Each structure stands twice: as C-alpha cells, then as structure tokens.
Amino acid sequence: MSIEHRVITDNEFANWRTLVRRAFNEHVHPDDIARLRDDRAESDRLFGAFDGDVLVGTGGTDSHVMTVPGGAELPTAGIAYISTIATHRRRGVLTGTMRKLLEQSRDREEPLAALWASQASIYGRFGFGQATVAEKWEIDPARSAFAHMPGTPGNVRFVSHDEALRIMPDVWKQASGLRAGSLDRSERRWRYNYFDDERVRGEWSGMFHVVYEHEGKAAGYATYRLSPPDGDVMKMSVHECVAASDSAHAALWRFLFDVDLVVSVSASAQSPDDPVWWMLADPRRLKRTPVDGLWVRVIDPVKALSERTYSSYDRLVIEVNDRFLPDSGGVFELETGTGGAMCRRSTAIPDISMSASELGATYLGGTRLSGLARAERVQEHTAGSVERFDRMFIAERAPWCGHHF
C-alpha cells in the first residue's frame, strides 16, 4: 500500500505528538501534548504519513523570520517534528514528508527553510547545508578569572519568572538584529520555552533569572538551573545568556561564573566567536566542544540572494543543482554594488556550479565555499570565482542561532 502524506486533523494530534517523541525514545505526558498544541504548534503546518489508517511518520513547520547578513529579516520555515516509525524505514516516508513541508513553504513564499539535525547525515539530500557552528561549554568557575573585559556601567539583578517573561522578548529582539542566523520568537513560543514544571526539569532546580540594566533599560538576561547539591556544592547549567551589548554580555557571564558554591558551569549552543574566550586569563580552562548548528536550505534563490548584503562588489553567475526541488534550481546571476544586491535567473555560462546543499551552507556567510571546493563539492568554471564568492559572502560576524525548535 502506498504512503499518504497530508495535514493531520485535530483528532489525530495526540497520536501524532506521541509518535514524534517515541522516535526520540521518549514518552510524552498528556499535559505536554496540550502544551505543544496551545503554545507552539501551527495546526495547518503539521503533516502525517499514513499507511492506510496507521500513522507511520511525522513532520511539521514553525513559522519564523530569520536575520540575514545586513539585517534584513526573511520568512523562514523552521522544519521540526521529524520522525518515522521503526517498522517503516526505507519506504520513502521521510522523503515524502520533506517534500510536503518544503512545497508548502514555497507556496507560502518563504525563501528559506532551516532545521536542527538530530543526525547530520540525513538532510543534505534534501538541500540543507550546515550554515552555523555551535559550541558546548564547560568551565570550573574557580578558573574563570577575566584578564580583559569591557566596562560594565549597568547592574545585574534577579527577577521573577513573570517579570523575566516581560523583559526577555525585547532583549531578544535587540540581540537578534545583530547577527545573521538569528530567529524571532513568538509570545506563544516564549511560554513554551520557559515552561518550568518539576516533571520536565527532573531533580534540577527551577530557573533562576537575572537581567542586566543600564540607565533603566534592560540590555541582557541570563537564565540558569542548579543541580541537586553534592554536599555543599552543585553544578550550573546555563539555559540562555542573551545580550544586546558587549557590556551586558561581559557582566552576565561574570555574574554566572561568580555564583557561590558552584563547581562547574556548562552551556550549550554558544557562538564560536564569543568574546568570553578572549576575556579569560586562562582561556584553556574553558572546554569548547564544537557541534553542527543550524542547517539552512534556500527555497527561492532569487529572493534570498537579493535580500542579503555582501562584503564586496562583484558579479557572479551561479548554477544551483537542486535535485529535490528542481524548480528552485537553475542558473542565477548575482550582482552586488552600491545600490544593493540583485539576483535574477540567467542563461549565461556559470562561473560556479554547486548543489542546493552548498548554497544553504554558505548563505549566511559562515561557511567558506573554498573549503567545500577543496572537498570537491563545488565546480569552478571561471578561475578565481570561488575566491570571489568567499569575499562576497563572508559575514561581518559569525552567523549563529540561539533558538532551538
């Protein structure tokens, strides 16, 4: 029997959510099914794969806007909820689901799609490329002395959970405009991300919230949990540390490192160019583990390439081979100048050829095309065009995304 892919009904939502969590070897609490429906999910963007009446695969999309180089914000499909039941592997379930999700995004005129990959080997064939890098951090705070840091004229103070939820969205919006790869976060999603019930945090403490303020205005916040005490000491897990200024960033990390009775501070998904490394008197004490970050797919190259800014003025003809969405591929002429960028379809001979995955990897300016070329993932037809591409696309700051979906 063939697999049918379609938007799920309200009556199918609970089963759909259960299947998503089962794919990650987890059970789901009934209250969390309701919480996802109420505070995150978009019902018309949730797809199921059905073998007859049996749900065998899932996928869905969160609607976002992404900051791209230069500060423009483009509609972006946040692909999530991907699963295939173990009994139906290698039957085209995932392929069919991804096609439905990306076709819906194209119909909604979203030029970009993005995802966090649980397995890095899966999504290249669907046109996604690793566009950002993240780092996991761990440090003994006794070894966290700063030798260099900017001035911090403001102050850090504790706030309640409710006050934090009023303050954090504005700080997030300020900080998101500073870096390519940042995503917006809706009011519903703030509630979802900061749900702090004991059954989801386990034995760890509830969230502690602090904000950095200067002249009466919040410019940063940090949220963290503490482990159960081991004797008199405990560990800290930083949930988020978001700052709209260097002063706020330095002050918040200094505060986190100085919390009493803490013997380990850890954080996940930090930016690879974070200046904390350069502030430390002994940077070797900060254990940094790089992991792949956000994966990006360009659905509409004309729109996506025209809306971002570039670091040099040039003209390149780029061929994009898009096996999964052939209508999104083709030959594109990209020209940058004092008046901005212009991209259009072209019949000219290409300077460079690449797949949709390579375009996605380089789009935010954090991945060098020259590295992909040395891996024989890019074909250079005009001598020097890969180097010119790198000069055009490189971002002022490393792209990074602190929002998981």
- 309 with 284, same domain: the answer is no
Q: Do residues 199 and 233 share a domain?
A: yes
Instruction: Report the alpha-carbon distance of residue 339 to residue 273 in Å, rounded.
Output: 30
Select from 42, 76, 110 the last residue of a domain. 110
Over residues 42-51, the mean pLDDT reads 98
Mean pLDDT of 125-135: 97
Residue 312 sits in the same domain as residue 352: yes
Of 251, 197, 246, the C-alpha closest to 225 is: 197
User: Is a pLDDT exceeding 70 seen at residue 341?
Assistant: yes
Share of the chain above pLDDT 70, in %: 100
Q: Which of 95, 110, 125 is the last residue of a domain?
A: 110
Provide mean pLDDT across the span 51-61.
97
Unique residue bearing structure tokens 């995150």: 40
Residue 401 lies in a domain: no
pLDDT at 1: 61
- Both 287 and 147 in a single domain? yes
Computed over every residue of the chain, the mean pLDDT equals 97
The residues carrying an active-site annotation are 123, 405
Residues 139 and 278 in one domain: yes
Same domain for 139 and 226 = yes
26 phi/psi in degrees, rounded to 5: -130, 150
- Identify the residue with better confidence: 1 or 260: 260
Query: What does the chain come to in residues?
Result: 405
19 contacts 97 by C-beta, under 8 angstroms: no
Asked whether residue 157 is domain-assigned, the answer is: yes
Give yes or no: residues 172 and 286 share one domain.
yes
Same domain membership, residue 282 and residue 362 = no
Phi/psi of residue 107, nearest 5 degrees: -65, -30
The answer to whether residue 115 is domain-embedded is: no
Contact 400, 134 (CB under 8 A): yes
DSSP alpha helix (H) spans, 90-148: 93-107
**Domain match, 151 and 267 both:** yes
Mean pLDDT along residues 206-223: 98
Angle at 369 between CA 312 and CA 299, to 5 degrees: 90
- How far, in Å, CA of 58 to CA of 76, rounded? 20
Read off the CATH number of the domain in which 39 is found. 3.40.630.30
Distance CA 64, CA 313 (A): 30
400 part of a folded domain: no
- Banded model confidence at residue 72, pLDDT cuts 50, 70, 90: very high
Q: Is residue 296 part of a domain?
A: no
Average pLDDT of the segment spanning 195-201: 91
Q: Which phi and psi (to 5°) does residue 54 adopt?
A: -95, 125
Same domain, 171 and 36: no
- What is the model's pLDDT at position 200? 86
Is the distance from CB of 176 to CB of 230 less than 8 angstroms?
no
- Interval 80-102 mean pLDDT: 95
Residues 228, 168 share a domain: yes
Classify residue 255: in a domain, yes or no. Answer: yes
Domain end (from 76, 110, 144):
110
Single pTM value for the model: 0.95
* Residue 124 covered by a domain: no
Instruction: Return d(Cα 266, Cα 160) in angstroms, integer.
Output: 22
Q: Which among 153, 136, 137 is positioned nearest to 245, based on CA atoms?
A: 153
Q: Which domain holds residue 220?
A: 135-291
Instruction: Enter the tokens of residue 292.
Output: 């792949």
How many domains is the chain partitioned into structurally? 3
Do 222 and 92 belong to one domain? no
CATH of the domain at 350: 3.30.1050.10
Q: What is the C-alpha separation between 365 and 396, in angstroms, rounded?
A: 8
Compute how many other C-beta atoms are within 10 angstroms of the C-beta atom of residue 70: 16
Does 116 map to a domain?
no
d(CA 319, CA 323): 13
Block residue for tokens 């978009």: 42
* pLDDT single digits (tens) 260-315: 999 999 999 899 999 999 999 999 999 999 999 999 999 999 999 999 999 999 99
